[in-house]
Structure 1
Amino acid sequence: MVSILSLVLGLACLCHVSLALSGEQVVQDLQRRLSPGSKVVLASDAAFAKDFTPRFSITTPPVFVVAAKPRLVTDVQQIVRYASRNHVPFLATGGGHGYSSTLGRLRHGILLDLGHFDAVEVDAAANTMTVGGAARSVNVSSAVQAAGKEIPVGQCICIGYAGATMGGGIGPYSGLYGTQSDSLLSAEMVTGTGDIVTVSEAEHPDLFYAVKGAGFNYGIATSLTYAVYPATNGGRAVNADMIFPGHLNGSVWRLAASFVGRQPKELSITLAVGYDPKLGGLFLIGNFIYAGPRAQGLDLIQPFLDLKPLNVSISTVEWKDVPAKAVYGHTLAGCTPGAHYVPFAANLYRVDVPSLVSLANYMDEAMSADPALRSTIIAWAQYAPHGFQRHADASSAFPHRDAVVFAQIDGFAEQAAQVPALARFGRDLRRRLQRASGRDALAVYAHFAHGDEAPEAWYSASRLARLRALKAVYDPENLFSYYNPVLGRSGCRAGA
C-alpha cells in the first residue's frame, strides 16, 4: 500500500536509439569481454525470465533485447564502454522497483542486472556497513539488526538499498537520521565516462554530492559504505495501526497538523486514504511507529485512539520487521512484480486541513461513482525534521529537507486498459495536493515521481545548474538519462 520505492541504480540511454547491432551480435560480443561467471542472454530466451530481476511496474517498462549479469565491477565497466561505443542504450537494475514513466523511453537496449552485487557486510566495531549495488533492504535490515545497529530503511522491504540511496532514501527512521544518503560514507561507481571511481568527501567530492540525491544520472553504484548507529530502544519499536471511517478525516488531518514543528524524532506518522464499500466508502489507515518505550509511544498517539477507530492493532516489533508489519502488512503488496502501477506524488510544506477535507470528499464522491478508481490510495509519510536537519542542506543533492509530508498517489490497475483512467485521476489528485502544499511550484521526491514532472520538481531549481554541470564531467555523452534525468528530454544526443 505504501511503497517507497526503489529502484534503479544507474540508467543509461541514447534517447530512442534503434539497436544498430543484432541482439545475437551483442550477446557474442559481451560474452567474449566479460569474466567467467557473468551471464549474457537474449531477452527472448527462457533464461531471461528465470535468471534476471523482474520489474515491479510494467505500466511503462523499458524494452530490452539483451540481458547481462556481470560478475565483477570490471565487467560493469566493459558493458558501459561497449554500449557507449556502439550506441546501445542500457539500464542498470538492482531491485527493479523504479517506476517512473521516463523508463519507458528506453527501447531495444541492454538490461544490466546487478544481481551478483548483493553482499551486505556490517562492521559493528567500526559502525559501518558495506553493501553491493543490488542488496535488498530486507537483507540490509536483517544484517544490521543482528549487529545491534540501525540505519534508515524505506517501507518497502524488497527494493534495492543502493538505488533508494541514490535518490535520497526516506523511511520511518528518517526522523532520527535523515535520508539513507545522509549515512553514506563512500561509493564505488562506474561513471558515464567508463571509469571506475570511488566517491566520498575526500575523493571526487563533487560527484559524492550528486550521488546523494541524483546519483542515477552519473553512473552505476557497485559498492557503497555507510555509517550505522547503535540500536534505539534495544532495537525494538512500537507499531500501531488503526482504521478510521472517512467521516473522521478532518479530525485525523487536524491531529496530524498538530505534530508539525513538534514531532518527536522517534515518531513516524503514515496515513493511507482509500475506498472500500465494506467500510462504508472512504477510509483512512493510520500507522504510527515509535522507536522508544511502549508507554511513551501510546501517550503520543492517544489523541488518535480517542477518535475511536474501527480497528486498532498495537505491537512491539524488532526494528528490522517494521516495514513488513506497518500498515497491517499491506506494504508487502509493493513487492509483487508485474503490476500496472500508476504513481503520482507531491510534497507538502504545511498541513492545510480544509483543503485536505475537500480532497477527501472529492475522492469519496469520485470513487463511489466510478469503481475503476477504487484501487487508488493516497499515502502520507510524515517524519520529524530532526534527522533531515542534522545535515546541511548543501551537503547533498537531496532537495526536500524542509518537506512536512511526502505524499504519494498510488494507483494499481489489474489490466492495462484501466491505466488511462487512473492516470487522469492521479493527475487530478496531484494538482489538488499541490494547491494545498504551501508552495507555488510542484516539488516531488524523485523516487515517488510519475515522470511527467519537470527536473526542477525532482531536484529543485537551485540545484539544477550544478547537477547539469557535473554531467559534462562524469557523463558527457548523457548515457545515464532514463530515470528522471537532470537534463530532462532536452539532454538527448542530436540524431539519437
Structure 2
Amino acid sequence: MASFWSLLTLYAGLVFLQLAQAQATCNLSPRIAEQLRSLLSPRSEVVLTSNASFATDFVQRFSVNRAPSFVVAVKPASAADVGRVVRYASQNNVPFLATGGGHGYTWSLSRLQCGIDLDLSSFDSIAIDNAANTMTIGGSALSDNVTRALYAAGKELPVGMCTCVGFTGFTLGGGIGPYSGLYGAASDSLISAELVTGTGQLLTVSKTQHPDLFWGLKGAGFNYGVATALTFRVYPATNGGQAVVTNMIFPGALNGTVWQVLSAFFGNQPKELGLALSVGYQEQRGGMVIIVGFVYAGPEAESTALLKPFLDLNPLNLQILNTPWEDVPEVIVYGATRAGCQKGAQFVPYSVNLYKVDVPNLINVVGYMQTTLAANATLRSAIVTWAQYAPYGFQRYADDSSAFPYRAATAFVQINAFSPSAEQVPALDGFARELRDRFQRGSGSRSLETYVHFGHGDETPAAWYSARKLPRLQELKRVYDPKSLFSWYNAVPVRRDYW
C-alpha cells in the first residue's frame, strides 16, 4: 500500500494534469467544435456553449452548485456518432461528460471544467413488448416517461422517487425505489445494454456477451462507457396497477416513539410495502416534524391493518389516497419528492446507508436538528429523507450477481439542502456533513457506506461500491476505460492504491 504522501502527490499530479487539459480545451474550443462537425453525421448537432442555442436546444443541469462547465456541446444522432465523440475526446485528451436527464448532483462533477457536453437527447425512445414482457429505452429516456409508458401497458418496474432523472443513469447506479421490495434494484431487471466503451467500441453487453462488463454495468455502469440503449425485463402490474399511498405527519417531540414503531418494520416489512420518511423544520408547527409516506401495492384494507401501529400514534395529519402506481412519486409524503426536480437550485447532498434503527442515536439527531435549526433560520432548507424497502426484492438476487453492493441495507438516508444563493452553501454544507456523521454513528456499519447516486463526492470509492467489489470494478476499468475518460461521477479509480 502506498504511503499517504505518495498518494497525495499522485492526486495533486492528476488534478494539475486535469486543470492543464481543461485550460487547453477552453483555448481551443472553436477548433474542437469544427473538428467534431467534420467527424459526425449531418443530423448531429455541435455548438459552442457560448451560443444562445445551447440554453434552448440542450439539456440543462438541475443543480447549479459545484457544476461541471462545458465549452462545446454535442448532440449525437446515432450510437456510431457517440463512438466518434468518445474516440475524438480520447485521442485529443479532451474531457467530456455524457448527460441524459441532467440531474446528477454529486460535487465530484465540478472537477470537469472546459469539457464537452455529450448530450444524449436524441436517444429518448421507449418501446415495450407486451408479449415478451420486455422494454427497451434510449439512453436519455426520463424516469417519468418510462413510468407512464409502463403503466399504460399494464406493466411495472422499480422506478425511483424522483421523476425527472434519466432512467439509464438511475439504472447504471443500481436504481432503487418503492417497488424494490418486490423486484430488487432496477439493474436486477436489466437484460442487455448497448454501450460505447472508454475504448470507443460499440458493444452489446448481456449475460452472454461480455458478461464481466454486464456485471459491472449493474451498479457502476457509468464508469465504463455511454449507454445508448437498455433492455429490461418488466412485470405485470401488481393489484391492477393501483396502490394505496398513506401520508402522516407527527410532531418532532414524538420522534422517539415513531422510531420505535419503525424499528418493528425494519427488515420485516411485506414486499408490497415501501416507506419514505422526511424530517425537517416547520416554523408554523413550532419546530421539527416527521412526515411519513407509505406506498402499498395492494388493497386499502390490508394497508390500513399493516399501518395500525402508526395510526395509533394519532398523527397531526392523515391522508389516504388510492392512486395509480405511476402517480406514487407525485403524491407520497405530500408530494415533497418534487423538490428534487427544481432546476437552478444549489443542492447540498449527503447520504448514509442504515442497517439498524438506533433509537437513542436518532433521538439525538433530531434533538440536534431542533436546537440548530431553531437558532439559525438560514439552515432550515435542510431536510433528512429516509427510504426503506422490504428486503425480499433485493434478496431475490445473490450478492455476486451484480456490482450493486448494498442488498443488506434496509434504509437509505439522504441529507439534502436546497439553497437559493451560493452564499448559504458553506453553512449548509457544514450542517449537512455533521448530520451525516451523526447518522453514521448509529448506522450499524463501522465505515461509511452510501448509495452512489446519493453521494456527496467526498466519500471514498469503497463507500460507493464496497471494498469487496471495488477490486473487480477496477479490473474492468483497466479493460474498458483504461484512460479513465469516465472519471467525473463518483468514479472507480484505475489504480488499486488510489484511495
Q: Deviations over 1:29-51 (max 9, x none)?
A: 11111112211111111011111
1:491 is displaced (CA, Å) by 9.2
Q: Distance in 2 between matches of 1:50 and 1:308?
A: 49
Tell me whether 1:127 sits opposite 2:133 in the alignment: yes
Residue in 2 that maps onto 1:9: none
Q: Does 1:402 align with 2:402?
A: no
> What is the Cα deviation at residue 488 of structure 1?
7.9
Match in the other structure for 2:457? 451
Corresponding position: 1:331 with 2:344? no
Distance across 2 between alignment mates of 1:211 and 1:157 = 22
What's the CA shift for 1:272?
Answer: 0.2
Could you tell me how far apart the structure 2 residues matched to 1:263 and 1:14 are?
A: 50
AA aligned to 2:393 is G
- Distance in 2 separating the partners of 1:252 and 1:464: 37
C-alpha distance in 2, partners of 1:452/1:437? 18
Structure 1 pair 356–156 and aligned structure 2 pair: CA distance change class (3 A): same
Cα contact 1:378–1:410 (8 A) shared by 2: yes
- Once the two structures are superposed, what CA deviation does each residue of 1:341-385 show, in whole Å capped at 9, x if it has no partner? 000000000001111011101100000011111001100001000
Paired with 1:253 and 1:27, the residues of 2 have a C-alpha distance of: 56
Q: Which residue of 2 aligns with 1:269?
A: 275
TM-score (norm 1): 0.95
Residue 222 of structure 2 is aligned with which of 203, 216, 219?
Answer: 216
Q: Which residues in structure 2 correspond to 1:155-166 (within 5 Å)?
A: 155-166=161-172
**Contact 1:155–1:171, Cα closer than 8 Å, also in 2:** yes
CA distance in 2, matches of 1:403, 1:491: 27
**Number of the residue aligned with 2:383:** 377
For 2:30, the equivalent position in structure 1 comes to 24
Give secondary structure in 1 for the equivalent of 2:417. strand
Structure 1: 5+ residue runs without aligned partners?
Answer: 1-12
Whole-Å separation in 2 of the counterparts to 1:98 and 1:331: 15
Matched, 1:463 2:466: no
Structure 1 equivalent of residue 4 of structure 2: none
Q: RMSD over aligned Cα, in angstroms?
A: 1.4
Instruction: Give a deviation string over 1:170-210, Cα, whole Å, max 9, x none.
Output: 00000000001000000000000000001110000000000
Partner SS state of residue 150, structure 2: helix
8 A contact 1:14–1:88 mirrored in 2: no
Q: Contact 2:46 / 2:73 at 8 angstroms: preserved in 1?
A: yes
**Which residue number corresponds to residue 307 of structure 1?**
313
Count of matched residue pairs: 480
Residue identity over aligned pairs, in percent, reads: 57
Contact 2:246 2:319 in 1 (8 A): yes
Asked if 1:297 corresponds to 2:300, the answer is no
Match of 1:95 among 89, 95, 101: 101
Partner of 1:175: 181
Structure 2 residue 21 is matched with structure 1 residue 15? no
Q: Which residue of 1 aligns with 2:210?
A: 204
Deviation at 1:262, TM superposition (A): 1.7
- Aligned partner of residue 462 in structure 1, secondary structure: coil
Map Cα deviations across residues 427-455 of structure 1 (whole Å, 9 max, x no partner): 10010110000110000000000000011
Post-superposition shift, 1:325?
A: 1.3
TM-score scaled by structure 2?
0.94
- The secondary structure found in structure 2 opposite 1:107 is coil
Using the TM superposition, give the Cα deviation of residue 23 of structure 1 relative to its aligned residue in structure 2, in angstroms. 1.2
Does the 8 Å CA contact 2:134/2:231 hold for their aligned counterparts?
yes
Q: Structure 1 stretch 19-28 or stretch 382-391: which is displaced more? A: 19-28
Task: Tell me the distance in 2 between the aligned counterparts of 1:70 and 1:486.
Answer: 26
**2:24 partner letter:** A
Contact 2:199 2:481 (C-alpha < 8 Å) held by counterparts:
yes
* Equivalent-residue separation in structure 1 for 2:31 and 2:240 (angstroms): 56
Q: 1:364 aligns with which of 359, 365, 370?
A: 370
Q: CA offsets per residue over residues 196-241 of structure 1, 9 Å max, x none?
A: 0011100000000000000111001000000000110000100111
Query: 1:170 and 1:372 mapped to 2: Cα distance?
Result: 31
Q: CA deviation at 1:86?
A: 0.8
User: Deviation digits for residues 106-145 of structure 1, max 9, x if unmatched?
Assistant: 0110000000100011001000000000000111111111
In structure 2, C-alpha distance between the alignment counterparts of 1:32 and 1:62, rounded to whole Å: 26
Query: In structure 1, what is the Cα distance between the partners aligned to 2:113 and 2:149?
Result: 37
Q: Pick from 422, 425, 444 the counterpart of residue 416 of structure 1.
A: 422
CA contact (8 A) 2:482 2:494 kept: no
Deviations 1:224-269 (A, max 9, x none): 0000001100001001111111111111111110012321000011
**In 2, Cα distance between the equivalents of 1:491 and 1:482?**
18
SS at match of 1:115: coil
Distance 1:30 1:491, change over 3 A: farther
Give a deviation string over 1:316-347, Cα, whole Å, max 9, x none.
Answer: 11011111111111211211111100000000
State how far apart, in whole Å, the 1-side matches of 2:236 and 2:299 are. Answer: 16
On the 8 A contact 1:239/1:325 being kept in 2, the answer is: yes
Aligned partner of residue 223 in structure 1, secondary structure: strand
CA distance in 1, matches of 2:40, 2:61: 24
Residue of structure 1 aligned with 2:39, choices 21, 33, 37:
33
Secondary structure at the counterpart of residue 170 of structure 1:
coil
Structure 1: distance between partners of 2:229 and 2:435: 38
* Alignment of 1:195 onto 2:201: yes
Asked if the contact 1:19/1:109 (under 8 Å) is kept, the reply is no
CA distance in 2, matches of 1:48, 1:491: 40
How far apart, in 2, do the equivalents of 1:387 and 1:226 lie?
A: 16
In 1: Cα distance, 2:457 partner to 2:46 partner? 30
For the pair 1:355 / 2:355, whether they are aligned, the reply is no
Matches within 5 A, 1:238-257: 238-257=244-263
In 2, Cα distance between equivalents of 1:451 and 1:195: 29
Q: Is the 8 A contact 1:346 1:433 kept in 2?
A: yes
Question: 2: CA distance between counterparts of 1:191 and 1:19?
Answer: 25
Q: Distance in 2 between matches of 1:198 and 1:282?
A: 50
Tell me which of 281, 287, 293 is aligned to 1:281.
287
Q: CA deviation at 1:20?
A: 3.0
Given that residues 477 and 494 in structure 2 are in contact (C-alpha distance below 8 angstroms), is that contact kept between their aligned partners in structure 1? no
